Structure 1
Amino acid sequence: MTNIKTAGLMFICFALPRGFEAALNCKSPSPEALSNALNLLPKNLVRPVKRFSDTLNVTIRITLVGILGVDEKAQSLTTFIWQFLEWDIAGLNWDEEECGTKKVSVPREKFWIPDIYISEFMDEDKSPKAPYVYLLNTGHVYDSRPIRVVSSCRLGIYTFPFDVQNCSLTFESYLHYASDITMIQGATAAKILKESRKVIQTNGEWELADIEVVPSTLKLDEGTFSQMAYYIILRRRPILYVVNLLVPSCFLLTLDIFSFLLPLQSVDRCSFKMTLILGYMVFLLMMTDLLPVTGEIILVINVFFSISLALMVASLLETIFISNIQSSSSQYNMAPNWLSIFVLRYLAVLVCIPPKKKSNRVTVSLVSPDKGMIILLFITSVISTKELQGKSDNTSEKPPQEPALDELRKIRNDLAAIRLQMERRLEGTKNSKEWYMIGIVIDRLLFGMYIVFISVSCVIILCIWSMSNSYVR
């Protein structure tokens, strides 16, 4: 037995340097004869090359079968791929007619397998093991196996939910330098993308946008390693988040815009806006579960929600300010001349409220109770004055009537006081109307600024989201 092992080892040592230049001979065209012939090979001892200085070319290609998940918090991508490796065993061949087959499946552990791994691996491969590889009569080895890849990926979710992720899977030898093993691209990126889209099984949140293949080398102090990098570009399907997040927020913001059309003098606009703010706060609390968790950056959609809430609060403060001006205007003094000119003459034109021209003509209307009272008081005062003058002229003929004169003087004083009070009231009404118009102009101006700010903010956010569809490696 020892002699047999020694003879076999001597055969291996003798045949290995010569690269097995002679073809294998099969006693019969049967799997048993071919298997007996293959048992003479060194199998999984060393690289299957003629000389140790030769470079083994390993052809690699992949097919993406499924996108299992993207973890924004852990910055990881979980995919399921098929890995295809091909290489040649130098000097190994057999005659197809003599051995009866062109290829044969042999156990994986019987062969030298390249130590190819994915540098972004973060977890153990839990995919099913493939126990066999194909061996062709030319010495060509074809290895195909499934891999569940949990890889690290720097996810950029700034433009969520319209984000595009670019994750790489870099294949390289764990130990062998580029002078020992060189990675060769097995298929074009377009062909890999076409095959992957045909066999992909998942139809979840992410869709496969593109695949790129880039051969490269990794230079370290101890040597240079050959690499093959596959860039998998994924695009998120945003319809779920648009329906559940953006559409309700836009509805509430639209209601807040149209609330400016409510008349302040007949409707409590402040209560309506406060109800909208409370409803928006409840909406923000409910939608936090749909947003990705990250502590590195602030999402554009979060900026949109913050701007919307800030605008609602600003519109409430503006309504409080205008309501205070219009409801308490009777307590204010006359508006400053510069303020009245600036607001009612210039800003009114800007917000499409034409200023009212002042007229010097005095119109007396019997319908107006205030003006009618003033005219009545004026006539009564004139009549009482004439009566006093007539009685003073006849004092020489009749004795004075002191009680009547005193009563008339009291009536005159009372009427003068009433007249003074009515003039003050008319002046206060004029001031109130002026402050009321100032409030209307300022309200219209702030409403226009509100619309402009919302429009600009929405355009900027939409531009950021639209530019996110283009990816850069």
Structure 2
Amino acid sequence: MKSLRPVYNFSNPTEVLVDLFVTSITDVDEKAQSFATQITLILGWINEFTRWNDSDFCGLQTCTIDKDKMWIPDITIAESIKAEFASVENPYVKMFNFGGVILSETLVLTTACKMDLYEFPFDVQTCELTVQSSLNSIDELTVSPFSDASFMTASSKKSFQTQGEWELLSITVSKSNMSTLGYVLDQLKFQINIKRRPLLYIINFISPVFCFLVLDVASFFMNSAEGEKLGFKVTLLLAISVLLLILNDTLPSTAKEVPLIGVFCSVIFILIGISILESILVDFLMARGDQIEDSTSTVTDTAKDSNCLADPETDQSEERLSTLDCLKQILIEFRNAANPKGDTRTTGCWHRAAMIINVTFIVVYILTIVVFLIVVSKAWFTV
């Protein structure tokens, strides 16, 4: 009764009806690609050896007995990495007078789940739980759903015990077969569709990076004197690099496609880096123009000081150098007479070039940001 499959004719397979209800999602590990859930698994089958006439037993139609005294189908979860009972193992099964047997188990499962994190943190994942027999072929044992998918979904949502990062969307079920060791196993695949609640990642990643980008645009209106503007931009770049390091600990490194949040942070990191290079170039041009202006003022002051060479109180050694200084003064006067505004125009050219580059870069920079944000938003929120 316990060791043999409960049928009179062994050419007839035993059909096991299965219901699976998800009562909580305890953990989803993106790096390990694992999915931890608490499920209630209900199994039902016909035991042809335990039928009785209820009228012979005072109308008794059901009874509960120790499951160790009954034949139990060897049903397993194919994707299971680790499984344990949620509380105490249920030691009983319920029997019906027509031969039906029902077993209910609440399990905590950790299963493998292939995840597509391209739209992280606005992603929807589908994890499979495959119910099958360990050794009995399809000629000996078959598995079929007891309830339809809509009932299992509604019951799971009603009994859901956690309100964490993940939301249960639906449970779908399908049948399949698998060939192994020369025989075919009957399988029942439960697809659990879950959706991530992205609020935490919006607050911790997307909003700060977007604010850093807005601050970088606002920094173009800062005074670039004494390097304060450049230092501010470098600080923003370092802040984004810290967020990228934190993000690296969350996402798996074996993903086929770079997640959009990684693209979002990396592109903004590159844009701020380019704006820092532009600030360095503009500061260089402005400093170059100021340097020419300072040198012109120094030459003019030198020319004015040379007028003091004719002072009768100078000593004889200074008088010997007066001829050379006078020649220098004559050359300076000739240059100023030939091009009285040349240095001013040169200084203005450097400053004007710096302003043109700065204004052009600001316009192109803002347009690039707007286009990039539109493209990323469409990719993230495409239904």
Same fold (TM over 0.5): yes
Matched, 1:108 2:67: yes
Q: Deviations over 1:265-321 (max 9, x none)?
A: xx45x4223223224414543674465142213433223222222211211111121
Matched, 1:151 2:151: no
Matched, 1:94 2:94: no
Please, which moves more after superposition, 77-86 or 270-279? 270-279
**Cα distance between partner residues in 2 of 1:129 and 1:153:** 26
Matched, 1:71 2:29: yes
Q: 1:162 is matched by which residue type in structure 2?
A: F
Where in structure 1 are there 5+ consecutive unaligned residues?
1-42, 333-413
**Cα distance between partner residues in 2 of 1:81 and 1:59:** 16
For the structure 1 residues 301 and 286, does the alpha-carbon distance in structure 2 shift closer, same or farther, using more than 3 Å as the test? closer
Alignment of 1:59-458 (within 5 A): 59-90=17-48, 92-100=50-58, 101-127=60-86, 128-220=88-180, 222-262=182-222, 264=224, 267-268=225-226, 270-282=227-239, 284-285=241-242, 288-289=245-246, 291-297=249-255, 298-329=258-289, 418=333, 420-421=335-336, 424-458=339-373
**Cα distance between partner residues in 2 of 1:422 and 1:189:** 96
Aligned residues: 344
Contact 1:219 1:225 in 2 (8 A): yes
Q: Partner of 2:381: helix, strand, or coil?
A: helix
Contact 1:325 1:435 in 2 (8 A): yes
**Cα distance between partner residues in 2 of 1:273 and 1:187:** 65
**Cα distance between partner residues in 2 of 1:175 and 1:283:** 54
For the structure 1 residues 416 and 83, does the alpha-carbon distance in structure 2 shift closer, same or farther, using more than 3 Å as the test? closer
Q: 1:307 is matched by which residue type in structure 2?
A: V
**Cα distance between partner residues in 2 of 1:116 and 1:86:** 11
CA positional deviation for 1:205:
1.2
Q: 1:214 is matched by which residue type in structure 2?
A: S
Q: Partner of 1:463: helix, strand, or coil?
A: helix
CA positional deviation for 1:210:
1.9
For the structure 1 residues 279 and 438, does the alpha-carbon distance in structure 2 shift closer, same or farther, using more than 3 Å as the test? closer
**Cα distance between partner residues in 1 of 2:233 and 2:357:** 22
State TM-score, norm by structure 2: 0.82
**Cα distance between partner residues in 1 of 2:106 and 2:62:** 21
CA positional deviation for 1:211:
1.5
Contact 2:41 2:107 in 1 (8 A): yes
Contact 2:85 2:106 in 1 (8 A): no
Contact 2:205 2:243 in 1 (8 A): no
**Cα distance between partner residues in 2 of 1:319 and 1:279:** 14
Q: Deviations over 1:106-146 (max 9, x none)?
A: 11011111100000111242432111111011111111111
State TM-score, norm by structure 1: 0.67
CA positional deviation for 1:48:
1.2
Greater percentage in strand = 2
For the structure 1 residues 262 and 289, does the alpha-carbon distance in structure 2 shift closer, same or farther, using more than 3 Å as the test? closer
Q: Partner of 2:104: helix, strand, or coil?
A: strand
Q: Partner of 1:207: helix, strand, or coil?
A: strand
Please, which moves more after superposition, 88-97 or 247-256? 88-97
Please, which moves more after superposition, 196-205 or 440-449? 440-449
Q: Partner of 2:52: helix, strand, or coil?
A: coil
Q: Equivalent residue for 1:343? A: none
CA positional deviation for 1:184:
1.0
Q: Which has the larger radius of gyration?
A: 1
For the structure 1 residues 158 and 203, does the alpha-carbon distance in structure 2 shift closer, same or farther, using more than 3 Å as the test? same
Q: Deviations over 1:151-200 (max 9, x none)?
A: 11112223322222211000001011111111111111111111111101
For the structure 1 residues 423 and 306, does the alpha-carbon distance in structure 2 shift closer, same or farther, using more than 3 Å as the test? farther
Q: 2:65 is matched by which residue type in structure 1?
A: V
For the structure 1 residues 228 and 322, does the alpha-carbon distance in structure 2 shift closer, same or farther, using more than 3 Å as the test? same
**Cα distance between partner residues in 2 of 1:45 and 1:259:** 78
Contact 1:277 1:309 in 2 (8 A): no
Q: 2:375 is matched by which residue type in structure 1?
A: I
For the structure 1 residues 62 and 217, does the alpha-carbon distance in structure 2 shift closer, same or farther, using more than 3 Å as the test? same
CA positional deviation for 1:221:
5.2
Contact 1:93 1:138 in 2 (8 A): yes
Where in structure 2 are there 5+ consecutive unaligned residues?
293-328
Contact 2:241 2:269 in 1 (8 A): no
CA positional deviation for 1:330:
6.7
Please, which moves more after superposition, 110-119 or 89-98? 89-98
Percent identical among aligned pairs is 27
